Amino acid sequence: MSKTLVIAEKPSVAQDIVRALTPMAGKFDKHEEHFENDQYVVTSAVGHLVEIQAPEEFDVKRGKWSFANLPVIPPRFDLKPVDKTKTRLNAVVKQAKRKDVTQLINACDAGREGELIFRLIEQYAGGAKPLGKPVKRLWLQSMTPQAIRDGFDQLRSEEQMQGLADAARSRSEADWLVGINGTRAMTAFNSQGGGFFLTTVGRVQTPTLSLVVEREEKIRKFISRDYWEIHASFAAQAGQYPGKWFDPAWKKNPNDAEQRADRVWSEAQARAIADASRGQAATVTEESRPTTQAPGQLFDLTSLQREANGKFGFSAKTTLSLAQSLYERHKALTYPRTDSRALPEDYVPVAKQTLEMLAGSGMAHLAPHARTAIEGHYVRPNKRIFDNAKVSDHFAIIPTLQAPSGLSEAEQKLYDLVVRRFLAVFFPSAEYLVTTRISKVEQAGQTNHFKTEGKVLVKPGWLAIYGKEAADEVQDAKEGDKGQNLVPVQPGEKPLANEVDAKGLKTKPPARYSEATLLGAMESAGKQVEDEDMREAMQEKGLGTPATRAATIEGLLAEKYMLRDGRELIPTAKAFQLMTLLRGLDVKELARADLTGEWEYKLAQMEKGLLPRATFMQEIAAMTERMVKKAKEYDRDTIPGDYATLVAPCPNCGGVVKENYRRYACVGKPGAEPCGFSFGKSPAGRTFEPQEAEQLLSERKIGPLDGFRSKAGWPFTSEIVLKYDDEAHNYKLEFDFGDDKAEETGELVEFTDPALGACPICGAEVHEHGSNYVCAKSVPTAAQPVPSCTFKSGKIILQQPVERAQMEKLLATGKTDLLDKFVSMRTRRAFKAHLAWDAEAGKVNFEFAPSKFPPRKPAAGGTTKTIAAGASRTSAGGLKGLNKPAAAKKAPAKKAAAKAAAPRKAAAGKAPSAALAAVIGTEPVARPAAVKKLWEYIKAQNLQDPKDKRTIVADDKLRAVFGKDSAGMFELAGLLGPHLG
């Protein structure tokens, strides 16, 4: 018997579909990854299971990101599984390929992204050939059982959905073309001077960054101006009341946004007004009018993120994570990744049931308000709340019918926020009585006007739900008048202006973006687009989607384009450099919302069948080629921009040091020629902030700093120093990794910091030294010139800073707290681990927390994993060198895992070749010991290149071992292999 496979976007939707179909199609059996009865098989994705990629023959790997390989415009796109969801993809594909499944129903979310998710799964399931099974489209705007059944009665054909499918694929492929080519072109441009300067751009990411940079530019260029306000206190028979002077004839000046009716720009004028009014009687006119304030709309994701950031300081990412947990784990909220603030029109009964759940719940602070709404019959059809036209792929975020339990403090805060808003929308508007009082003071033919405003809450309405928070919920309330009750003035009474003062103030620059205000700016970015058609296309879109905006902000932070300072987002020097580059290369479309506006307009045309997909993609390819060409053909020495002049003088000649696009360079003393001193602004892909450049010049060193990348793209940490080069007769910038300097030079070390604890190897004191924590006996000191211990552990390990307190804890207890900022050098993913002393290995290793999930069946040999399996082995004494640029550190994953899993054995000694024996002796030796002996020989013979300590210049003996005149330090172990055994 043939069956129909229904593929939903999320497991929760699959369950809703099964519940809705059961009365009409019969009971479903539940399997591990799907539901099934005689007619239907119902399964689901978990968002995107498949993503596009360039075919292997057209792809360019990171090491070849040069203009010679750009642009990358493949004639087609291949598909690859999303790593995290491969198991789910295989389960869905297995059902799609079943011989008894003869038809598919696309039940993914009703929108462009839902269409794409299904189409890519269908294409992947077919492999080289199309799957060849007919497809119908289930289009749902509501998830009630009846709405789902109605949807199955009105399935749409594949032909009806072709326009939407074309638009979905085109958006995905266009984002890939612009993002990949833009990133590689800007990276290639910025890496022309050497190194690897990763410069990411994207259709949403870069315009978002542009908003932050442009705001910071306004702040930096802002010139504060002095102004005065005149404040008075009037004595009426019933008491005192305040008033502020204003000019009733004032009109808004389009050329000066800082002008206000209550501002005076001359101190003399302000004092004259105050002096003329002081002690004078005032004529009073008064007007009172009732006003109302409606509750806010239901939350979509962006408005929830903004509210949570403003109230609790939650980042957009944190809010999304909490909302997702409340949705998936606790089943307490509806789907959170929505851009809709309304409910379907058939949801009135569901809203009533939700209120009944809240009224009967144990939430004492909310249940009474739910009962009030039920008893007052507040829930009824209302287009502000229930409107199908305003429901997109998903409806607004509201509580479900399930009362939650066991919530964390943060989850409870967010749940309360959603519940209060859900209750509030059904309550009546808050009612106020607003009083405006004008006090006129006349003196010597001059009339001065003072305004006083009072706002009194008459009926709280929805504000009752917020209790003490109500004052903060009042919108447009001016400071000092929240609930202010004005003292009465009798008819004909003339209060005396007994205190009148001119108050000096300064204009303020625009505020920096917080996550809340940046989310709002992204949401409303379409309003800044000048073209009317594009603006209309972006009206409901903005930059990104509610589901991706948090990731966009986090991505900008991760790429060091922005920093968080409290709740403020501050662009870095790298961000300014990118904007300068895009402006200088004249590829400004990447930095403006217009690009999204243009795409949305054309994609909307495509959905309606008015624009062929091929035409749109040809335009995208042409734009990509144009963007790459501008970067490739730019031939000027620098990019024009607004550059800084440093305060610190040139270390070589004392001249002035100025910034250009690529470097900080000496321009000489006034009237003198420049001396030639300069250093790159972005060594190893990390851009100096101006204050860092100042510190480097004045102190000749800075760091350790993180964020550097090797030529292969690996992150590392290092100090930066300015050293005098005798050959060049000038200073040059060098990386200083702080490793073994004392051992290399024989310089005695004197510790000045308090000891952190006892060395786990020899019991001596452990101190900070350079970029490491070391045993006092592991470096030359006055007490012991020849080191005898090997304990050493890095201050930064795989990008995780190891604070003194954590090292103290490791030395005292054997391990640190769980640290969460490690980044794997193999996968580049963040991970959590303890650092623990491994007595058997004689070094600090990782110790992982027990997994929440059942363990996989282990390979032979167990599952122990240590730092040695995936990190540097350059020191027998522990973790060091993990943040240096060394592509050679990356070991094959299987080999590393096998080494980690295997039980420890003493390494067997092997006989050295005659060439190697001439250097280290004839005794059999394991490779680590051979490397150590080789290093002893290198240091004894002083064979390290003085210009680059990581390069060994071979003498006659080593030339026989290396087979060449020099070798890098990371090559040694490999070069010794053929000489052992």
CB burial string 906-938: b at 16+ within 10 A, e below: eeeebebeebbebbbeeeebebeebbebbbeeb
Which is the catalytic residue, given 124, 241, 335, 513?
335
In the block, tokens 């967010």 appear at 414
For residue 462, the 8-state DSSP code is G
d(CA 596, CA 697): 43
Cα-Cα end-to-end distance for the chain: 67
Nearest to 571 by CA among 946, 104, 209: 209
Q: Is the dihedral of CA 242, 247, 253, 256 positive or negative?
A: negative
Dist CA 292 CA 288 (whole Å): 13
Residues in CB range of 567: below 8 A, 6 or more apart: 309, 313, 514, 515, 516
Contact between 683 and 708 (Cβ < 8 Å): yes
- Transcribe 385-422 into DSSP letters: TB-GGG--SS--B-B-SSPP-S--HHHHHHHHHHHHHH
Q: Is the peptide bond preceding residue 704 cis, with omega within 30 degrees of 0?
A: yes
Cα-to-chain-centroid distance, residue 231: 45
Distance in angstroms (rounded) separating the CA atoms of residues 971 and 935: 12
In the chain, count H helices and then E strands: 28, 35
Contacts of 118 (CB under 8 A, 6+ apart): 7, 9, 45, 106, 108
Residue 40's H or E segment, with its range, is strand 40-44
Say if CB 919 and CB 935 are below 8 A apart: no
Active site (annotated) includes residue 40: no
Report the sign of the C-alpha dihedral through residues 657, 658, 663, 668, in that order.
Answer: negative
Q: Residue 92 contacts by C-beta under 8 Å, 6 or more apart in sequence?
A: 7, 33, 43, 44, 45, 49, 121, 125
Interatomic CA distance for residues 81 and 93, integer angstroms: 11
- Which token pair is 270? 């302000």
Nearest-10 Cα torsion for 237, 241, 245, 246 = -100
Q: Provide the 8-state DSSP code for 910.
A: B
Q: Which of 871, 783, 761 is nearest to 827 (CA)?
A: 871
Catalytic residues: 335
